[in-house]
Structure 1
Amino acid sequence: MEDCLKNTKRMGRITSQTRIVIIKVCNYLREQYDKEGEDDIVKRTAAATGISVRSIQRIKQQHKRGEMHSPPPRSRKSPVMGALDDFDKDCVRREIIAFYERGEIPTIEKLLDKVKKPPLNFPGAYMSLLKLVKELGFRYKKVESGRKLLMERNDIVLAQNKYLRLIDENQKSDSPRPEIYLDETWVNQNECADKCWTLPDGIVGPRVKTGKGARFIIVHAGGEYGFVPGGLLFFRSKNGNKGDYHDSMNHTCFLSWFQTQLLVNIPARSLIVLDNASYHSKILNKAPVSSSRKSELVSWLTNHNIAHDPSYTKTELLDVVKQHKYLQEYEIEYEIDKIARDTGHEVLRLPPYHCEFNPIELIWAQVKNEVKKCNSNPNQTLTNVERIIKRAIDRVTAEDWKSCMHHAREVEDIYRKRDIARDHLTEKLIINITSDSEESESDDE
């Protein structure tokens, strides 16, 4: 009971468990003081629990109506964060990169001065920008002087370096794999944009902004020879225009498209480049957790040839799993990767928060620009809008793809140079990274 009441005070709301406890206290006091009136019972319950009399009366009424479950807590999304799209986030990331290229130390204060100006016109203040920067994978880390610097998380830097190395090795190989880039996007029925990407050939393309009407989901892939023939998946979102395309996609839908429309239509030995969306990343050999059965722990350890004693308790086996979870003998295997490998292809995953490495992002910008030009009538029927979108996709040529892929190569080169500049800058400052807990404390500060 004490824990329930403490949680109630800490959370500022009465949970379902606390309501049940309060009703039990009322019933107990009624049995002990059966001569007293209901008002006295309510007062005694309030004194015993620390909950107000009015709240006790409301809970009793809810109990009579069978409404004991508390409503789910409201999830408030920051107005600033809700107004930002991938275009805005990429602009912020590029500004941080520019600090390293200039040999300057990036900080939130300096970054805020930059992003407040056109073309981004960031609508938030210091804390909103700090939240966005953390979402992009950057953290404050201390140097010996005690000063804090804005730097990418180590895991993101490692993922970025690994991707750049593998893509470079493929391009310089004697027999390079054909590169196929895939992605999903969405287009509103009444397309309206107020921000844009600048394409390699100078064409300005829009990024989707919110608008009324239906939403169409597009899944496609392509490479230097254009879109993959027969690779278009096009359907209307069941969620209307709420959320983004991730809310309308799932693993089953993507897997069906991957097997029936992509793998059968791409060149042999293709290198398939995709992002880390959840429906791309179903794990086949997911490590057991504390809620797993003991038999699952034993089976996982046996399948990965990890020495263990089946007579161990579940707690001991779980400890063995944790010790080997991130060692070389255990590598995560994704279902999509295995399917591609079984058909002679290979999957390469983009580093987190690096959509600018994917040339199809610029292709989507070109498609949406075409849709915006042709969709000037706000009262277009869904059939007409669908025809306009498909026609815009058909107008994308192999030359457009080559131009966008060349632009992605230039972005990769910028990151390679940035890494050299960052290493040079941090070497001079001698970063003193201690522990994750210290980084968290720095973030809070």
Structure 2
Amino acid sequence: NGRTTQRKRSSRSSSLANFTPTTHRNRSSSQIRSLQREITVPVAKPPQIRGGNLPKTFSEEVENAIRHQFHVLLTKKVYPTVEILFNRLHATYPDFPILSKTSLREYMHMLGFTFKQISNTKIPLEGIEIEAQRAIFYRKMGNLRSTGAHIFYHDETWSNASEEKRSIWFSDTGEGRLRKSDGKGARLAISAIIDQHGFHLPSVEIFNCTTDHNMDSEHFIKWIKSTSFRLRDEHGPNDRICIIIDNATWHSELTDDTKPGKRAWRKSEIQQWLIRHRIHFDPIMTKAELLVLASINRPAKRYKVDEVAMQFDVEIVRLPTKHCGFNPMELLWAALKDYIRKNNVRFRLNDVYNLAAEFIAGFDEDAAKNAIQHARQVEHTFRTGDRFVEENVEPYLKDTDSDTEVELDIEDEV
């Protein structure tokens, strides 16, 4: 019986269209809405770096904070030198983990910023690829909004059975304990979309992560197929529908005919790839030469997710790489996890499931609109900053011998 119960729990995957939470305490919808209206932009607070080598990566929130404050300065028509940006980051985020201007400069290099001369000052500028990705995103979103499309934002998050506040706490009934875990162990995956009306409950999915049941490309493609079908059924055959997704690896599996040649392939496999793509090659060419030829003739990318969604005339738009601030779901997940940590008193995965479902089912329209409006304001800040760079910075850059042309890998669907 124990094994049967465990199998049932591990295979659980649920829609919340008719969800009725069964938790250990009653909470009014007004309490949930009150917490939702307190949604704020998450402040980056990774462990402070006191010395030694700069880590190769910080959290995504730190990267997003650097890019966001960089563009806030641009919107104020301020050249964001490293010193000015450093001071603004620490004024905005008191616990910002990069503690010196030299380390900030080094980390910005790692993020793809280059330093260009303008007048007598060197200022950082983002890589052309990132700017181009944003320009494509702005254009697509502008077109969707101007045509009255139904726009849904998607994201996933994970939550552990041991989610709890990082302090001593007591429940309303007097229960309490010291934090005993690091938040690891069994966990749930949560996948959902929202629009201005809130969560789309029929497509919400919450399931136990196991070795055989995890978020991967196959699972996500099945989810996209069922969600696209539901959305098309709800909105009729003529309405324009779009789902905004990020660039997670399981969102980005290429169709078989557009997958590039790989170095791990045998020489004969590369030759077969070239033949299938009708690319002429000399039989005496080495494996390295064949791979270069395959790379030069690589077909335009097409994604399995996009192909499946288009079966139901649902468009997929991808966020620019590492621009989580453009996605209102990030704010919702922060509020959801805060809700779980405040109310998780028994540390069982089933309780976490119920708390997550309870939060999602009670999420109201006002909170959803506020989160989407915040994301659009972030998008507007970046758009304004990019326009300032193009019109007021790029024309005055000094040409230097160190400037190099970049090889772009950008796909535009104009």
- Fold agreement, TM-score > 0.5: yes
Structure 1: distance between partners of 2:209 and 2:373: 32
Structure 2: distance between partners of 1:231 and 1:433: 53
Q: Where does 1:86-165 land on structure 2 (aligned, <5 Å)?
A: 86-126=60-100, 128-135=103-110, 137-143=111-117, 148-165=122-139
User: How many Å apart are 1:84 and its aligned residue?
Assistant: 5.1
Indicate how the Cα distance of structure 1 residues 346 and 316 shifts in structure 2: closer, same or farther if over 3 A, else same: same
User: How many Å apart are 1:356 and its aligned residue?
Assistant: 1.2
Task: Kindly indicate whether the alpha-carbon contact (under 8 Å) linking 2:47 and 2:97 is maintained by their aligned counterparts in 1.
Answer: no
The secondary structure found in structure 2 opposite 1:156 is helix
Aligned partner of 2:305 among 336, 348, 364? 336
Structure 2: distance between partners of 1:404 and 1:151: 29
Indicate how the Cα distance of structure 1 residues 321 and 186 shifts in structure 2: closer, same or farther if over 3 A, else same: same
1:354 aligns with 2:284: no
1:414 aligns with 2:381: yes
The secondary structure found in structure 2 opposite 1:179 is strand
- RMSD (CA atoms): 3.4
Partner of 2:155: 183
Indicate how the Cα distance of structure 1 residues 163 and 318 shifts in structure 2: closer, same or farther if over 3 A, else same: same
Of residues 381-390 and 155-164 in structure 1, the stretch that sits farther from structure 2 once superposed is 381-390
Indicate how the Cα distance of structure 1 residues 310 and 339 shifts in structure 2: closer, same or farther if over 3 A, else same: farther
Task: Kindly indicate whether the alpha-carbon contact (under 8 Å) linking 1:177 and 1:271 is maintained by their aligned counterparts in 2.
Answer: yes
Q: What are the ranges of 5 or more consecutive residues in structure 2 without an aligned counterpart?
A: 1-45, 50-54, 168-180, 407-414
User: How many Å apart are 1:391 and its aligned residue?
Assistant: 0.4
TM-score with structure 2 length normalisation? 0.69
User: How many Å apart are 1:167 and its aligned residue?
Assistant: 0.9
Identity among equivalent pairs (%): 27
Structure 2: distance between partners of 1:93 and 1:437: 23
Task: Kindly indicate whether the alpha-carbon contact (under 8 Å) linking 1:251 and 1:279 is maintained by their aligned counterparts in 2.
Answer: yes
Partner of 1:256: 222
Higher relative contact order at CA 8 Å, sep ≥6: structure 1 or structure 2? 2
Q: What are the ranges of 5 or more consecutive residues in structure 1 without an aligned counterpart?
A: 1-76, 195-208, 240-246, 440-445
User: How many Å apart are 1:213 and its aligned residue?
Assistant: 6.0
Structure 2: distance between partners of 1:352 and 1:418: 17
User: How many Å apart are 1:181 and its aligned residue?
Assistant: 1.4
Task: Kindly indicate whether the alpha-carbon contact (under 8 Å) linking 1:251 and 1:280 is maintained by their aligned counterparts in 2.
Answer: yes
Aligned partner of 1:265 among 223, 230, 234? 230
Larger Rg: 1
Task: Kindly indicate whether the alpha-carbon contact (under 8 Å) linking 2:224 and 2:308 is maintained by their aligned counterparts in 1.
Answer: no
Structure 1: distance between partners of 2:395 and 2:379: 25
Structure 1: distance between partners of 2:97 and 2:251: 33
The structure with more helix, counted as a fraction of residues:
1
Structure 2: distance between partners of 1:251 and 1:116: 39
Partner of 2:204: 232
Letter in 1 for 2:370: S
Residues 390-444 of structure 1: CA distance to partner in whole angstroms, max 9, x if unpaired? 10111112333233222222222222211111223323532537667799xxxxx
User: How many Å apart are 1:355 and its aligned residue?
Assistant: 0.9
Residues 334-372 of structure 1: CA distance to partner in whole angstroms, max 9, x if unpaired? 111111123322211100111111122222233233324
Partner of 1:321: 294
Task: Kindly indicate whether the alpha-carbon contact (under 8 Å) linking 1:140 and 1:148 is maintained by their aligned counterparts in 2.
Answer: no
Letter in 1 for 2:152: I
Indicate how the Cα distance of structure 1 residues 185 and 132 shifts in structure 2: closer, same or farther if over 3 A, else same: farther
Of residues 403-412 and 416-425 in structure 1, the stretch that sits farther from structure 2 once superposed is 403-412
Indicate how the Cα distance of structure 1 residues 171 and 302 shifts in structure 2: closer, same or farther if over 3 A, else same: farther
Aligned partner of 2:165 among 192, 206, 221? 192
Indicate how the Cα distance of structure 1 residues 294 and 190 shifts in structure 2: closer, same or farther if over 3 A, else same: closer
Aligned residues: 331
Indicate how the Cα distance of structure 1 residues 124 and 368 shifts in structure 2: closer, same or farther if over 3 A, else same: same
Residues 268-287 of structure 1: CA distance to partner in whole angstroms, max 9, x if unpaired? 65212101011111122122
TM-score with structure 1 length normalisation? 0.65
User: How many Å apart are 1:312 and its aligned residue?
Assistant: 5.5
1:286 aligns with 2:259: yes
Task: Kindly indicate whether the alpha-carbon contact (under 8 Å) linking 1:142 and 1:431 is maintained by their aligned counterparts in 2.
Answer: yes
Letter in 2 for 1:179: I
1:390 aligns with 2:332: no
User: How many Å apart are 1:317 and its aligned residue?
Assistant: 3.8
Structure 1: distance between partners of 2:400 and 2:310: 39
